[in-house]
């Protein structure tokens, strides 16, 4: 096993019963506070994504920005962001998606991507997959292609990977 993965695992803090009873929240703030772990995270992402010849990184609000920004910078490609409604100042494309109880929406500037661009969708956590699937729809709406969806943590027991298929999925840590 790569010792960097072990370093990352040691930096993830479990918070029981947050945000509600029965949930074990995976807290990435210790990872962010450790320069060594944060560098290892970026290095592992770069090793995976550099060979894919990507055209852009699409990062999901808000923790996806933390990993998408340095990834895009290191790869020398643009970063585009996906946000909740009303947060972007220019014309946006919108996708509505289903939550456990109700719906939500995500937006991306209409001029973010060009037809045929190869994109990675980046977020910190893959749980049920709804947000990543909606982001994939936004990317495709602009004519680009999701080559991969990347995550720091994947909660495999929630089956989120199935919602983003057929797009590839890469996770550094799985629980």
Per the residue annotation, which of 10, 13, 83, 100 is the catalytic one?
A: 100
> What is the rounded CA–CA span in Å between residue 95 and residue 121?
15
- Rounded to 10°, the helix 35-49/63-75 angle is 60
CA-wise closest residue to 170 among 136, 121, 116:
121
Please compute, for residue 44, the number of CA atoms within 13 A of its CA located in the half-sphere on the CB side: 22
Q: Catalytic annotation on 63? A: yes
Q: Does 100 qualify as catalytic in the annotation?
A: yes
Sign of CA dihedral 80, 85, 87, 88: positive
Q: Which of 4, 63, 118, 145 is catalytic?
A: 63
Beta strand segments in the chain, E: 13-16, 24-27, 56-60, 79-82, 92-99, 102-109, 118-126, 145-154, 168-174
Residue 126 C-alpha from the chain's centroid: 7
Q: Would strands 13-16 and 24-27 be described as parallel, antiparallel, or unpaired?
A: antiparallel
Q: Write out the catalytic residue numbers.
A: 63, 100
């Amino acid at each position: 096993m790569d010792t960097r993965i072990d370093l990352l695992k040691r930096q993830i803090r479990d918070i029981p019963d947050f945000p509600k009873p029965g949930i074990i929240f995976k807290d990435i703030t210790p990872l962010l506070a450790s320069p060594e772990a944060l560098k290892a995270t970026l290095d592992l992402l770069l090793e995976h994504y550099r060979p894919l010849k990507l055209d852009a990184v699409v990062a999901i609000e808000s923790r996806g920005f933390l990993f998408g920004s340095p990834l895009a910078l290191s790869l020398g490609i643009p970063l585009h962001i996906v946000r909740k409604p009303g947060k972007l100042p220019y014309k946006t494309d919108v996708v509505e998606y289903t939550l456990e109880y109700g719906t939500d929406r995500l937006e991306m500037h209409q001029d973010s991507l060009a037809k045929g661009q190869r994109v990675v969708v980046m977020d910190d956590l893959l749980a049920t997959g709804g947000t990543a699937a909606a982001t994939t729809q936004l990317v495709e709406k602009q004519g680009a292609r999701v080559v991969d969806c990347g995550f720091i943590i994947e909660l495999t027991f929630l089956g989120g990977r199935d919602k983003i298929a057929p797009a590839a999925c890469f996770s550094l840590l799985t629980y």
